[in-house]
Every structure is written in structure tokens, then in C-alpha cells.
Structure 1
Amino acid sequence: MNTWRGTSATGRMLLLAVLLTGLTTFMFLPLLALDLTDQGIPTAQAGFLVGLLSFCGQGFSLISGMVVDRFDSRFVLAAGFVLRIAGYLLLGLGLADGTHMGALVAGIAVIGVGGSLLGMSIKTLLVRDDSVPRREMLALRSTFVNVGVIVGPALGALLYPFGFDYVLAACVASHLLLGIRLTARPVQAAPPAGSPTVASGRQVPGSGESWARWQWGPLVLVGVAYWAIYSQLNVVLPIAAKELTGSAAAISVVFTLNGALVVLFQYSLLRHVFRKAGTRTLLALGFLAFGGGYALLIAFSGWGALIAFVLPITLAEMLISPSLDEQAVRAGSLRRTGLALGTMSAAGALGSLLGSGLGGYLLGSLHGGGLWLLISCLSLAAAAFCFLLPKGSPQHA
């Protein structure tokens, strides 16, 4: 792959870090609720603990972005690895000590905060890497994340019969080795903040494209809308998939197919098909794909409808997710890259919270085609709203 060969040594290590941290995260995350309930913890408390992990990860993102901008990259990376390792150890201690709730809460909160620091610092360093165009770097990052989503649960399932402690030990070992590897050598620094270009001639984030503060409002709203719609895959779709097919395993098929498609086509789609498209065009096309996917469920049912639904939904994810990050980086300055990305992650946290709450309510109020029609209409409205964003020019840096 040309982009991989052209990526700097530091960029390659960061992408491998994305892969390995994703693998370990999805090794233990699907098993966490299962092990908690097996330990005798009530399902309500188990649900709270799993939700706490997501809240601390996404909710801390805005602060993480500011920390990344303010402090040395190696320090932030080291802090993220240390917190994650400490969190895994606390979680293991809580489970071993008669399910001590204090240790469990502390461990899960620390894992979430550490993951936020890690994810934000790695993403910021990747978009500051000038060795390849920014859009292609973000596409590669998304591909590596989804490899972890697919492979991680399988690795966790292989280790789980030996005990959940083995899963946590694998997480600790991988983070320890990776942390030493990434922080023991200097992390590639970004070009000086006052430099409009780098030696390669590519633009860097924020060069010549300063936004007014009010223009952040539409971008944040687009981010909230994306995650509110996307969160229905975790709220409404698991129930709807079972009703459509009669199989409780249907939602697993959806996520497996979704992840596989992203891994196979994310990079090629943005590198070859939409290379010259502006980000707001990609965002609008993504929301149109969302609308089309949910519209399919209005008139059709069964496995065929569910598989057909996955295709436009995956297309929407591949277009919108990296485009939001690219648009956010463009809107900020080089010194505030972390803050820009953190703002979009915070918008994602808010959108997920709103989408989960509204999705659960609407599932009980609307039935069948009415719910899908509403989501489709919201998607079309979001597509139109994307054109309130500044047009700018297609980014190749």
C-alpha cells in the first residue's frame, strides 16, 4: 500500500499502536459485563460499570485534547499507558477481592481516562504527520481500528475459558510493551506553528484556513447528529434485527460485516473514489447513505433486508467519520489540533447520549416503518445541514 510505504517510521508505529490498543480493548470490553454478572454483580450495576467506561472515555476527550496541545507528546502517551495499565490492575483487583465495588469503579474510570489520553494523543500525532495526505492517514487509522473491532473479540473468546484474569493480563502486557516502545524514543514533532507549509509542500492543519468561532457551531451539530444516528446500531438495531430475522445472532452478523467492509474498503474509497471531493460533500453523501439504509427497512424484512441495510450504513460510516475529523482539524490551528479533535469527540459523546435515550424512547412509542421513516428524515435533514459548513477546498494534506 503506497500510503503505508510513504508513512514515516513514527506514523507506522502510531498506526500499529491503534491496532494493538484496539485489539486489547475489544478483547475485554465484550466480556466485561459477562464476567461482572458471573461474579454475582447485579445486572443494573454491571450496566452502570460498562456505561462508566464509555462515559470516562468520551466525556474526558475535550480535556484530553487540551492536554495533548499543552504538554509533550511522549508525556501524554506515557500518562495514557500508565493509567490504562493501572486501571486494568485495579479492575483485576476488584474482581479478585470479592467483587469490591470501589476498586471496580476506580479501575474502569482510570481505564476510560487513560484510553481517552491515548486515543487523542495518537490521533493528533497522526494528523500532524506530514508524510502522507491527512485524509489518507485518517482512513488508514479507521481501517486499523476496525481490524481491532473484528479480531479483538475473537482473541478474547479464546482466552476467556482460562479466566478473565488472562484477558486482563494480555491487556497489561501489550500496553506495557507498546508504551515502552513508543515513549522510549522521540515522537516526531509537528512543524512549527507559524509555518504555513512543510518541506514536502503539503498544507498542514490550520494553514491558511482560519474559521470564525461561530462556524464551529454547525460542525459540532453535524457531529452530534452523526453519533445520534449511529448510536441506533447499539440501541434500536439489536432488537429490530432479531424481529427482522428471528435470530438473536443477527446483530453480531451486522457488526462483523460492517467491520469487514470498513477494513476492506475504507482506505480505497477515500484514496481513489472520493479523493477530490470536499469534506462537506462527503458528509452530505454519508448522511444520504444513512437515510437510504434506514429507508430500506420501511418496506422490507428478513435477512436480505438486514444485509442490504448494512451496505449503505457502512458507506455512511466510512464517509462521515474521517471527514468530521478532517473538517475539525482544518477549522483549528496547528497548536489546537488536540482541542479540535477533542471537541468532535465531545460532540460524539453528547450525540451518543441523546441518540441512546431518544432511540430507546422512540422504540417504545413508534413501531416498524414509523421509526425508520423518522430516522431517514433526520438523516436527510442532516445532509442538507452539512452545506452550512464552509465550502473550502478538497484537502490532500
Structure 2
Amino acid sequence: MTAWRETSSDGRALLVTVLLTGLTTFMFLPLLAIELTGRGVAVGEAGFLVGLLAFSGQAFSLLTGFLVDRFGPRAVMAAGFALRIAGYVLLGVGGGGLSASLVGGVVTVGVGGSLLGLAIKTRLVAEDGVGPRAMLALRSTFVNIGVVAGPALGAVVYPLGFRYILAACVLSHLILGVRLLARPGAAAARPRPATVAPEPPDGRWGRAHWLTLLGLGVTYWAIYSQLNVVVPIAALAMTGSTAAIAVVFTVNGVLVVLCQYALLRHVFARAANRTLLALGFLAFACAYAVLLAHAGWFSLLVFALPVTVAEMLIGPSLDEQAIRASSVRRTGIALGAMSAAGAVGSLAGASLGGYLVQLLSGNDVWLVLIGVSVIAAVTSLLLPKARVSHA
């Protein structure tokens, strides 16, 4: 990959960190509910803990962004490693029931992940000679390698005991933390001066434009969260197999690993972010339109293609748009705001998706999602192209 060759040795070390932390995260995350119920935790309480982990990883992202801008990625990264290690230890020593160590461990792992992830992302988009779009695409590719390989590796290790997985998480974070923080360059931000890019007279960013962008972020995660709520229910009904949704996620992860970088760096290299957002939301509409046919496995496998295109286009484009529209000294807050929008969208989408299934019948749920996707696509075109270029 061109971006990999152009990335500094410190940037490559951070990308490897993204891969390994993602790998260990997805070793334990799919098995967490199974492990908790096996320890005697009630199913409802186990669900609460899993949800609390996701909430803790996103809800404080705006504060995390402020900390990155105020103290720099190095300090925030160190705190992230420390909190994650402490959290994994607490999960390991936690017993049955909704104990303080389990709750504390879940929250600590989540907050630590927020600190670590945002600090690394902020540092990566400041790479010299590599644009934010290429770095965000490369980062997403490395994340998804962990998403694909992590569950399989976790399944292999789990028979030995869940604490072996947690031990692997602690050891990997300890080694990576020492490796990165021992070399100041790997964790220190090296921001490039922001330069104002040519734009049409109406291409200025105001409060309304920022609210529109954040609203699109909420909408994206609300639509995407249906892969965890509505789609699994529909997949089971269409195929009769509980493994159907796992197949969708596997296809999704493999496609992102293979195509994410090429799609954004080569196919859409010159496209404006608002164009990518519009195309992404239209891909969502196409994906959910496929499910109108109720054609069993065929519908489900075809659905995985446009929904993956939507993910590959929208996620990095939201972050890049926020970066380009913000001051270089407020990159952390801009990325944190988009992550916070994701937290709101995920929670709202998961809740509303469940109610849609209860209230609507037949294809009505898919029609609602198609309509929301099309509205979001049109709304994306209301955004200015960009105000600030970090180049």
C-alpha cells in the first residue's frame, strides 16, 4: 500500500497497535456475555454489562478529544493503556453476580479504549505526506483485520479459560504501551499547519453545518446499529439459521479489509466528502431494499455488499469532514464529537429498532430504513465541501 510506505515508522507502529488491540478486544468481546452467564451473572445483568462497555467506550469521547488537544496524544495514550490493563485485571478477578469489580472492569476497559483509540486516530491523521482520508482508510483496514481474526482466535483460546484471553489482552497492552511510550515520536502529535482551501462563497462552516454533520453521524450509527437488532431477527426468519448474522459480519469484515483502502484512495480519491456521504447513505438504502425480497440466504448475502460499501464510505468520510472543517489544534475535539454522535446514534438506533419490529409488520421496517437513508443522502449534499485542509 502506498500510504503504508509513506507512513513514518512511528505511524506504522501505531497502525500495528490498532491491529493488535483490535485483535485482543474481539477475542474477548463476543465471549463476554457467555463468560458472565457462566459465572452465574443473570442474563439481563450480563446484557447490561455488555451495553455498559459499549457506552463507556463512546459516551466520554468529547471529553477525550478535549484531553487529546490539551495534553497531547502521548499522555492520553498512556492513560488509555493503563486503564485498559487495570480493567482487564478487574474483569479477571470479578466473581458471579453484578459485582463492583465487574462493573468497574467494564467501565475502565471502555473508557481506556476511548482514550487509546482517539489518541491514536488523532496522531495518525497528522502524518506528514499522507492525507487524512488515506490514513483513516488504512486505520479502518487494520481495525477490521482484528474484527475478522479476533473472534476466531478467541474461540480457540476460550476452552483453556477466559482468563487466558484476558491475560493475552493485558500482556499485549503492556508490551505495546512500553514500546510506544518509550519512543516519544510514536505518540507525540506532529500537527501540520492548516491552510485555507479554495471554496465557493457559500462554503463556510457555521453552527448549522456542524449540527448537520453531527446529525448525519447520529443517523449513520442509528442505521448501522440495525445490524445488531433488526437484521439478526430477520436473518433468522429468512434462513432458519442462528449463524446467518455471523456470516454477514464475516463477509462484511473481509470486504472492508480487502477493499477499504483501495476504494477511498483510488476509486474515490478526488470525490468530496459530502459526495461520499451521499453515496454511502444511498448504499444503505440499496442494502435494505434487497431485504424486501425475503429471498433467504441470497438476499442476506447480497445485502452484505452494499451495507459494507456504506460502512466503508460513511465512517471515514464523517471523520475526515470533521477534521477538514476544524482548526488543526482542535482535531481531538472534532473526532471526539463524531464519536459522541456515534454513541447517541447507536443507543437510539438500537432502541428504536426494537420498537419498529414490535410496531410494524412485513416490509414496513425496511421501508422506514430506506426512507431515512435517502433523506440522509440528500441532507449530506447540504454540507460545504470543506473549509480547512490539513495538507
TM-score by shorter chain over 0.5: yes
- Give 1:214 shift: 3.1
Q: What's the offset of the Cα at 1:271?
A: 1.1
C-alpha separation in 1, matches of 2:388 and 2:252 = 27
CA contact (8 A) 1:211 1:332 kept: no
SS at match of 2:94: helix
Q: What is the aligned counterpart of 1:318 among 306, 312, 316?
A: 312
| 2:249 pairs with 1:262 | no
Change (3 A) 1:245 1:330: same
Structure 1 stretches of 4+ with a deviation exceeding 3 A read 188-193, 392-397
User: Map of 1:159-308 to 2, 5 A cutoff?
Assistant: 159-187=157-185, 189-191=188-190, 195-196=193-194, 211-308=205-302
| Residue 362 (structure 2) aligns with | 368
Report deviation, 1:190. Answer: 4.1
Instruction: Report the 3-state secondary structure (helix = DSSP H, G, I; strand = E; otherwise coil) of the residue aligned with 1:313.
Output: helix
* C-alpha separation in 2, matches of 1:363 and 1:334: 43
Alignment of 1:29-178 (within 5 A): 29-95=29-95, 98=96, 101-178=99-176
Aligned residue type for 2:75? F
Residue ranges of structure 2 left out of the alignment (5+ in a row): 198-202
Structure 1 runs not aligned, ≥5 long: 204-208
* Contact 1:65-1:341 within 8 A present in 2 as well: yes
**Structure-1 separation of matches of 2:62 and 2:154:** 30
The 8 Å contact of residues 68 and 332 in structure 2, kept in 1 or not, is answered as yes
Identity fraction in percent: 63
Are 2:325 and 1:331 aligned?
yes
Separation in structure 2 between the aligned mates of residue 388 and residue 192 of structure 1, nearest angstrom: 29
Please name the residue that 1:353 is paired with: 347
1:332 is displaced (CA, Å) by 1.0
CA contact (8 A) 1:62 1:346 kept: yes
Shift of 1:73: 2.2
Are 1:278 and 1:395, in contact at CA under 8 Å, matched by a contact in 2?
no
Counterparts of 2:204 and 2:329, CA distance in 1: 13
Shift of 1:394: 11
Deviation at 1:299, TM superposition (A): 2.2
> Could you say if the C-alpha distance between residues 157 and 2 of structure 1 is closer, same or farther in structure 2, counting changes exceeding 3 Å?
same
Per-residue deviation, 1:356: 0.5
The CA distance in 1 between the partners of 2:191 and 2:25, in whole Å, is 34
Shift of 1:303: 0.6
When normalised by structure 2's length, the TM-score is 0.95
The CA RMSD over aligned residues, in Å, is 1.8
Give TM-score, length-normalised by structure 1.
0.94
How many residue pairs get aligned? The number is 385
1 CA distance for matches of 2:136 and 2:189? 16
Match of 1:206 in 2: none
Instruction: Tell me the distance in 2 between the aligned counterparts of 1:51 and 1:163.
Output: 23
Q: Give how far 1:132 is off.
A: 1.1
